[in-house]
Chain A
Amino acid sequence: SQQGEEDPQALSIQEGENATMNCSYKTSINNLQWYRQNSGRGLVHLILIRSNEREKHSGRLRVTLDTSKKSSSLLITASRAADTASYFCATAVVGGGNKLTFGTGTQLKVEL
């Protein structure tokens, strides 16, 4: 099974609503990152949260990290059609070298 697993696999909401997606992981981490991928394109980094941080904000994005539960959540507030994309969490595992381990992603569709 994956080090990082996103939940749900797919999410469909109306424009203006909030979107929440979750990431669970198995081993200790140094940081956790969220990336966005528009259809058929490369990934774009959204936000990085370190293991000693509990919450971080960037514009309409809010990320939380609970190391005791080995989980993170990404909240997108007031979603827009342009937020339609796949969202991936990536974990920087303790002792994992320079590698990141990516989950399988959440597909978000924001409808007008």
Chain B
Amino acid sequence: DVKVTQSSRYLVKRTGEKVFLECVQDMDHENMFWYRQDPGLGLRLIYFSYDVKMKEKGDIPEGYSVSREKKERFSLILESASTNQTSMYLCASSLVVYQETQYFGPGTRLLVL
């Protein structure tokens, strides 16, 4: 079974702090994704990566950056956290095959005070 893990289930940070969310997958998937989920808005894509050191902006990249130094690991970085970044963050991975099934981690619920 594919396993996608996220570094924290719950996180509380202060406004202005730099926040790192990490995601690791164990199935050698090429594609990895970061979403945020907010009530009434569904899942919105922040960034995705199709290979090591490669990244593409999603629908809402502002205020976020990403890093993919190893194939199995994809990090989401909030350079200076703001209260409007309080959300549920979901990581996913998929094979390189076009637009196929995504496998999700358990999510990180981030609260920015």
> Which A positions have Cβ atoms within 8 angstroms of B?
2, 30-31, 33, 35, 40-45, 48, 88, 90, 92, 96-105
Contact = CB atoms under 8 A, between A and B. Distances in A.
A42 B106 contact: yes
Given A98-B50, A98-B99, 19 more contacts: A30-B99, A35-B104, A40-B88, A40-B107, A40-B109, A41-B106, A42-B90, A42-B92, A43-B90, A43-B102, A48-B100, A92-B99, A98-B31, A98-B48, A99-B48, A102-B44, A104-B40, A104-B41, A104-B42
Contacts of A2: 42
A92 B101 CA distance: 10
Interface of B: 4, 31, 33, 35, 40-45, 48, 50, 56, 58, 88, 90, 92, 94, 98-107, 109
A88 B43 contact: yes
Contacts of B31: 98
B101 to A, nearest CB: 5
Contacts of A98: 31, 48, 50, 94, 98-99
A87 to B, nearest CB: 12
A31 B41 CA distance: 22
A33 B94 CA distance: 13
10 contacts: A2-B42, A30-B99, A40-B107, A41-B107, A42-B92, A43-B90, A45-B101, A48-B100, A98-B50, A104-B42
A31 B101 CA distance: 10
A45 B102 CA distance: 7
A30 B98 contact: yes
Given A30-B99, A98-B48, A43 B42 contact: no
A33 B44 CA distance: 16
A44 B44 CA distance: 16
Contact of A33 (B4, B98, B101, B105): B101
B45 A99 contact: yes
